[in-house]
Amino acid sequence: MIDKTVPDVAAAVAGIRDGATVMIGGFGRAGQPVELIDALIAQGARDLTVVNNNAGNGDTGLAALLAAGQVRKMICSFPRQSDSWVFDGLYRDGKVELELVPQGNLAERIRAAGAGIGGFFTPTGVGTHLAEGKETRRIDGRDYVLEYPIRADVSLISARAADRWGNLVYRETARNFGPIMAAAAETTVVQVDEIVPLGWLDPEVVVTPGLYVDRVVAVGERPWLRDGEFIGGVDIEGRPLADEDAS
């Protein structure tokens, strides 16, 4: 029997080595695998290269991983946000490196890694600082820059539900980088709200087929859902509203 489920988040992140490249899903807080990141902090792997669209929000999740001093380098498109003070401080102190990649090139480079593409010509970034030193080429009258895949040792992502084969479905814009990061890593670890019996996910609506997934851990339902249905009643960070706010 194929069973990719693991009992807890510690088992899910076991074996991540110092110096590993770790992709972390999510766009801001949406889809960020916070429980897996917390487990990675507890696990303690250091000197990590982390690939994420951003560089952490507030003091939790990716920001906490940065604060723990476990990250040597960030590969991302948009580190500077109103609540990215942890990264900002480390960067100004020279304690973390930054490779800045336009968001669409970041997504396509991750997709290329999973799809076995050795490199691709993209029009994004041509003529800008972020294409300096890179090969460019005019094809059919348009200028392109050559970009290479970004691969990872481990991807940590979040989805709504999985079965024991690792088939995944996501929820709304929390899908974002999950499907492409799942395909780009040697080992893909997924936290989900719930694990459902094999056969419960309609083959037409599976977004990430199980062959991309190595470990699945259930972390329980988000506060704004009940039995998979949206019930509301939280702020944008997912904290339950006081009663008077929720009315």
Partner 1 sequence: MTTRISRAELAARVASDIPEGAVVNLGIGAPTLVADYLPEGLEIVLHTENGMLGMGPAPERGRVDPDLINAGKQPVTALAGAAYFHHADSFAMMRGGHLDVCVLGAFQVSAGGDLANWSTGEPGAIPAVGGAMDLAIGAKDVYVMTDLLTKGGEPKLVAACTYPLTGVGCVSRVYTDHGVFDVTPDGFRVRELFGDNTHGEIESLLGLRLEV
Q: Which is nearer to partner 1, 64 or 185 (CB)?
A: 185
CB atoms within 10 A of CB 190: 29
Nearest CA among 47, 147, 57, 133 for reference residue 97: 47
Cβ-contact 158, 32 below 8 angstroms: yes
Which position among 37, 71, 75, 174 is part of the footprint of partner 1 (CB under 8 A)?
174
Stretch that binds partner 1, among 6-14, 33-41, 61-69, 128-136 (CB under 8 A): 128-136
CA atoms within 13 A on the CB side of 242: 2
Selection from a copy of itself, partner 1, none that 103 binds (CB < 5 to 8 A by kind) is partner 1
Stretch that binds partner 1, among 8-16, 43-51, 63-71, 166-174 (CB under 8 A): 166-174
**Neighbour-count burial of 169, counting CB atoms closer than 10 A to its CB (0-12 exposed, 13-18 middle, 19+ buried):** buried
Give the total of residues touching partner 1 (CB under 8 A). 83
Selection from a copy of itself, partner 1, none that 33 binds (CB < 5 to 8 A by kind) is none
Enter the DSSP assignment of 160: E
Enter the DSSP assignment of 247: -
Q: Which residues bind a copy of itself (CB under 8 A)?
A: 108, 112, 115-123, 137, 139-140, 142, 144, 148, 169-172, 202-205
Q: Where is 195: in which H helix or E strand?
A: strand 185-195
**What are the tokens at 12?**
């899910």
Which position among 68, 126, 195, 221 is part of the footprint of partner 1 (CB under 8 A)?
126
Shortest distance, CB of residue 117 to a copy of itself, whole angstroms? Answer: 5
